[in-house]
Chain A
Amino acid sequence: MEAYETFEYDVLVIGAGGAGLRAVIAAREAGCSVGVVCKSLLGKAHTVMAEGGVAAALGNMKSLDGQNEPDSWKVHLTDTFKGGAFLNNPRTVEIFAKEAPERVLELEQYGAVFDRTPEGLIAERPFGGHKYRRLNHVGDRTGLELIRTVQDKAVGVGMSVHMEVTLTRLLTEDGRVVGAFGYHRDNGKFVVFRAKAFVLATGGWGRMYKFTSNSWEGTGDGLQMAYNVGAELMDMEMIQFHPTGMAWPPGMRGILVTEGVRGEGGILKNNKGERFMFNPDYTPALYKGQFAETPEEAARWLDDKKANRRPPELLPRDVVARAIYKEVEAGRGTEHKAVYLDVTHRGAEYIKRKLPSMYEQFHALGAVDITKEPMEVYPTIHYTMGGVWAEPEGCATSVPGLFAAGEVAAGLHGANRLGGNSLSDILVFGKRAGEGAAAFAKTAKLGKIDNAQIEEELGVLMAPLSATTGESPYAIHSELQETMQNDCMIARTEEGLSRALAKVEELKARAKTLKVSGGTAFNPGWHAARDIRFMLATSEIIVRCALQRKESRGAQWRLDYPSLDAEWGKKNLIATKGSDRVNIVERPITPMTDEIKAIIEEYK
């Protein structure tokens, strides 16, 4: 058997994005020794891509009349349910909305430097689906500020950071997670971590799509590791398509254009120059009467937010993404099958001040000057609402010893996430997962490592290096991306999903024999060989859940079942690993308490 190193901690955190690092801080403050594993260098996680802000009802903003906007956790809770089309777990949302402001203020104490209001408080900006200005921000680089802040704080409280390590298997003893196995990306050496409790904070899995804003890390290995030891996955069909990914030039395809561009007055236009979001067909019943109905009112809103309603460009992400899809399908798109996003009317000086990294990014990466010309945008894969089910109090999954927080976890966002809620999600539940894991660790002992499980995983990992024939993982990945993009993207049908399922099955069979060259030392081909198997398994679950949910809700848009279905609105889909197939069951959503019902009635 191959040799491997072993490390031991009270708590092992897997993933060093915002959720993972916030969990490190919490577990450490609870007195645990903490190790953290990341696939990249420290501080490079996908959190850096978050731009617009962190949503928390601080209520710092004043209307023109000098009064503070009447924001509160109750309004935030209501907005989050509406955005999620009421598929959200009620208790998760309640905890989230209540604790988000405290978590944001705490960041300031750790060293985050937010933009300020004239009164010297944290500045908050408007965003899609949020009733009041609620996105606490630093220009358009809020994610970078957040991760650097928790990174520095975590370094300050003390942790052991294992950089560039990929874990591929959780090791169990009698159903409890007691270890994690993987390899060092740089030298290819194998490593085992033993801990009393594990926090999964591995983010999302957008890499199986062609148009994606995700980095290479978004392959869903954390999700699959949990699934493979029996964890329940929830809402896997719910994948967010950010309405405005760059569609042209090709080198920038999929790269995100922050919603902040629309928050700062950016408008969407089709090839006829029409501002199509004013088409009343695009506004769902739930939002009727709440958005500006003329361009004049939308323009006045930029200066007077109290007397005017928000522009329809700020409808929730799923709504805007569907509208863009329909415009392009109807032949009103650009020559690159996209629509225009135009912010030039705000003036070069304003754009450079409010959207500096957008300006810089387009200028440098694509030679596009957004102060002078419109961008071409199309929906891009952005976020996974579904994931490992984690109960809200301490973020425990259905597997003992395993906790989950952030994008990998499910429950908060329901069928669609509001912009800005991901950053407050990772703070609120990163902390709770760290505390939950620490509490578990205090009553547990290190478990026993079963070498047979390691041997089995080693077999999977090493096979492509010794294979004499087999396919390239890159070729299979590229076919998978094509399939998921065409048949399991924003608009779904029974026919398309069935086609996708057949293709995924075929690719799974072909991926059993892969071949890569080189050795185990920093070999991207070898890494890709393991990643593709995770992505195929995840794709299958997504497609099967999307087939099963026969309605349109949030991110799930079925052309053959175009309306909300009250019965489907009462249940989540839960996927677990069966002996030879995916088991999917329908589970009733936890009922809302009367208190929450009353809040929603009052603020909806």
Chain B
Amino acid sequence: MASKTITLRVFRGDDKGGELVEYKVETFENMVVLDAIHKIQAEQDSSLACRWNCKAAKCGSCSAEIDGKPALMCKTQVHDCAGDSITVTPLRTFPLVKDLVTDVSWNYRMAAKIPPLTPTKETAGKPFNMQQIDVDRVQEFRKCIECFLCQNVCHILRDHERTDAFFGPRQMVRIASLEMHPMDSLNRREQLKGEAGVGFCNITKCCTEVCPESIHITDNAIIPLKERVVDDYYDPVRKGLIAIGLIKKRNKAPLSSVPNDLTKIIS
């Protein structure tokens, strides 16, 4: 691809307001949107704020909305964008800090409430013996790079602004990775039903669509978690069988949450 000049329309502003500002940028072969932003910083306006780290789609720092679509700037080729102008705006779901930077600390505060892996008595302190087939699913979830694009696009958080009631797809993936871990001993269903709010998800699969790691968030994480909650709390047949003593309640220890003040996220 020969070098050509494109127009970048980048949001500039802070919580008091802002606007799209146009920059002309000369492209090079295989240029990604993050390269273009860096070129603006180095050559035109060094005060343009954006987050980035690895520039290899491994850290999940440079999330933005490119022509309205949530994506990683380091993973979006300039020549894949339609036309000669590209619009780059910050994630809309989170409070704006400046330009392309938003305050995503809420995600970390929710993560801190999820009880960590707690090995069963038999396996604690010993090397785990697990087959690959038993950890494939968990490994899919652990590919998550915490770019929070799924959180950004989730309509419970984005449009209904229910950060008070739903932890969001990212944390569902995390809970699923623990719930499906062969050596874990905890039960996170009370938390899922309660403060994590898995019931709010109505399976529109927008999160799955934007995941740069192609994690099947809805199908492999959220739906199985919903099924577990339904199983424990809403299945009438199961309730009846427990009532007449034919089956027992699950023997995993119920656990709601981690104390709020153990870890502080200060940003």
The interface of chain A, by Cβ under 8 A from chain B, is 40-46, 48-49, 105, 108-111, 113, 115-116, 119-122, 138-139, 141, 143-145, 148, 152-164, 186-187, 215-217, 249-252, 255-256, 357, 360-361, 364-367, 472-474, 478, 516-519, 521-526, 528
In the assembled complex, the CB of B136 is this many whole angstroms from the nearest CB of chain A, namely: 10
**B264 contacts A160, CB within 8 Å?**
yes
**A155 contacts B263, CB within 8 Å?**
yes
**B28 contacts A523, CB within 8 Å?**
no
Q: Which residues of B are found within 8 Å of A121, using beta-carbon distances?
A: 127, 129
**A108 contacts B42, CB within 8 Å?**
no
In the assembled complex, the CB of A288 is this many whole angstroms from the nearest CB of chain B, namely: 36
**B57 contacts A41, CB within 8 Å?**
no
Contact count band on B: 35 or more
**A49 contacts B54, CB within 8 Å?**
yes
- Which residue on chain A has the smallest CB distance to residue B145? A144
B17 at the interface (CB under 8 A from A): no
Q: Which residues of A are found within 8 Å of B103, using beta-carbon distances?
A: 186
B262 at the interface (CB under 8 A from A): yes
B138 at the interface (CB under 8 A from A): yes
**B142 contacts A518, CB within 8 Å?**
no
Q: List 26 A-B contacts (CB under 8 A).
A: A41-B146, A45-B53, A108-B128, A113-B138, A116-B135, A122-B127, A148-B142, A148-B144, A152-B116, A155-B116, A156-B116, A157-B262, A160-B264, A161-B263, A163-B265, A163-B267, A215-B53, A215-B59, A250-B28, A251-B28, A255-B55, A517-B45, A522-B49, A523-B47, A524-B50, A525-B41
Q: Which residues of B are found within 8 Å of A115, using beta-carbon distances?
A: 132, 139
DSSP majority for the B interface? loop
Picked from A158, A216, A361, A367, the residue with its CB within 8 Å of the CB of B57 is A361
Asked whether A523 and B57 contact (CB < 8 A) given A111-B117, A161-B263, the answer is no
With A249-B29, A256-B56 known, 8 other A-B pairs at CB within 8 A are: A113-B177, A138-B142, A155-B263, A215-B52, A216-B52, A365-B57, A367-B77, A526-B46
B98 at the interface (CB under 8 A from A): yes
CA–CA, A110 and B124, complex, Å: 10
In the assembled complex, the CB of B99 is this many whole angstroms from the nearest CB of chain A, namely: 7
Picked from B75, B143, B262, the residue with its CB within 8 Å of the CB of A158 is B262
Picked from B146, B181, B267, the residue with its CB within 8 Å of the CB of A43 is B146
In the assembled complex, the CB of B175 is this many whole angstroms from the nearest CB of chain A, namely: 12
In the assembled complex, the CB of A416 is this many whole angstroms from the nearest CB of chain B, namely: 24
Q: Which residues of B are found within 8 Å of A156, using beta-carbon distances?
A: 116, 258, 262-263
- Chain B, 96-145, CB within 8 A of any chain A CB: 97-99, 101, 103-105, 108, 111-112, 116-117, 119, 124-125, 127-132, 135, 138-139, 142-145
The stretch of B30-38, B159-167, B197-205, B223-231 in contact with A is B30-38
In the assembled complex, the CB of B257 is this many whole angstroms from the nearest CB of chain A, namely: 12
